């Protein structure tokens, strides 16, 4: 083997502006490529939500809303939020896998911003939100779901939900940094996701629940997003829940993104 790896080395590379943005986007591209190349990683945002939808609609629809059709109208905008949060969970698990496999060591020894690998993963996983939204709305429509507000309303609901999931994904990134194995990250994430998404009016009207559960619903941020999503797709006053959702989203990212970056720096 002959090697002229170093001959004619050009002037040392100079740092260029907007480095963090460029590096994060390059790494986001990597995440997207990986996701598209391993479609089985998309099962949780394609097949799984469809199963949930079918189970809930046909199992509970008659009992809760009198008909499966009416129930579908009620449950789909809320379940969209749940599915999006499950989609966000994968970010933490994937990061943990990358650290496990040593891929991150390579990135960390490069002269790039410390948060670039994290930002890259979080941004790259937006593709999962898009797939989740498409499969949820597509299948929902097949089953008979009809938005009452028009395209703009649906679009707004999707964007709001994605933004919320994007912000919450920093919680899972933090888990990815502190838990030792990808499996542990997943377990921890589900522990958070279940009470947040099922402890809502997603599957049943709030009025039928015991008082203590209603208290939880009142403080649960995911309930606000589900309210907003319903209002945006089905009509009704949307302003309040939308603002509350945005406030929560920004609050969550303001707290958890710095924590995640700090935990990442600490992790050897």
Partner 1 sequence: MNAFEAEGLVKRFGKTTALAGIDLAARQGSVLAVLGPNGAGKTTAVRILATLLRADAGSATVGGLDVVRHAARVRRLIGLTGQYASVDEDLTGRENLVLIARLLDLPGNQAKQRAAELLTEFGLDAAADRRCKTYSGGMRRRLDLAASLVGRPDVIFLDEPTTGLDPAKREDVWTIVRDLVEDGVTVLLTTQYLEEADALADDISVIDHGKVIAHGSPAQLKRIVGGQTALVRPADPERLPEAESILARLSGRRPERPGRGVVTVPVDGDAAFAEIVAALAASGITAAELSLHLPSLDEVFFTLTGQREAAA
Of 51, 48, 50, the closest CA to residue 40 belongs to 48
Integer Cα distance of 73 and 148 in angstroms: 9
Q: What b/e readout covers 225-246, taking b as 16+ CB neighbours within 10 angstroms? A: bbbbbbbbbbeeebeebbebbb
Segment 107 to 146, residues that bind partner 1, using CB under 8 A: 107-112, 116
Nearer to partner 1, 101 or 180 (CB): 101
Does position 40 bind partner 1 by CB under 8 A? no
Q: Which listed residue (66, 106, 250, 254) binds partner 1 by CB under 8 A?
A: 106
Q: Which stretch binds partner 1 (CB under 8 A): 30-38, 47-55, 174-182, 245-253?
A: 30-38
Does position 4 bind partner 1 by CB under 8 A? yes
- Asked whether the beta carbons of 86 and 209 are under 8 A apart, the reply is no
Does position 22 bind partner 1 by CB under 8 A? yes
Does position 54 bind partner 1 by CB under 8 A? no
Q: Which listed residue (102, 207, 237, 239) binds partner 1 by CB under 8 A?
A: 102
Does position 18 bind partner 1 by CB under 8 A? no
Q: Which listed residue (7, 51, 151, 211) binds partner 1 by CB under 8 A?
A: 7
Q: What b/e readout covers 64-103, taking b as 16+ CB neighbours within 10 angstroms? A: bbeebeebbbbbbbbbbbbbbbbbbbbbbbbbbbbbeeee
Integer Cα distance of 162 and 80 in angstroms: 10
Binding site for partner 1 (CB under 8 A): 1-7, 9-10, 12-16, 19, 22-23, 26-27, 29-30, 33-34, 37-38, 101-112, 116, 268
């Amino acid at each position: 083997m002959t090697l002229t790896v170093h001959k004619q080395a050009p002037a040392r590379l100079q740092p260029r502006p907007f480095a963090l943005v460029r590096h994060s986007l390059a790494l986001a591209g990597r995440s997207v490529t990986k996701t598209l190349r391993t479609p089985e990683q998309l099962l949780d945002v394609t097949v799984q939500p469809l199963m949930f939808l079918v189970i809930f609609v046909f199992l509970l629809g008659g009992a809760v809303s009198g008909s499966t059709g009416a129930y579908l109208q009620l449950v789909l905008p809320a379940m969209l939020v749940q599915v999006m949060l499950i989609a966000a969970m994968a970010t933490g698990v994937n990061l943990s896998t990358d650290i496990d496999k040593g891929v991150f060591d390579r990135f960390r020894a490069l002269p790039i911003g410390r948060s670039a690998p994290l930002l890259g993963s979080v941004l790259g996983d937006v593709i999962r939100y898009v797939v989740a939204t498409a499969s949820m709305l597509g299948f929902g429509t097949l089953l008979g779901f009809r938005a009452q507000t028009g395209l703009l309303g649906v679009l707004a609901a999707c964007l709001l939900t994605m933004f919320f999931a994007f912000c919450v994904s920093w919680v899972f990134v933090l888990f990815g940094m502190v838990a030792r194995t990808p499996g542990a990250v997943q377990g921890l994430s589900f522990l958070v996701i279940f009470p947040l998404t099922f402890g809502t009016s997603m599957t049943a009207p709030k009025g039928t629940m015991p008082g203590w559960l209603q208290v939880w619903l009142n403080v649960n941020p995911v309930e606000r997003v589900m309210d907003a999503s319903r209002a945006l797709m089905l009509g009704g006053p949307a302003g309040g829940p939308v603002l509350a959702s945005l406030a929560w989203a920004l609050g969550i990212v303001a707290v958890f993104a710095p924590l995640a970056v700090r935990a990442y720096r600490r992790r050897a």
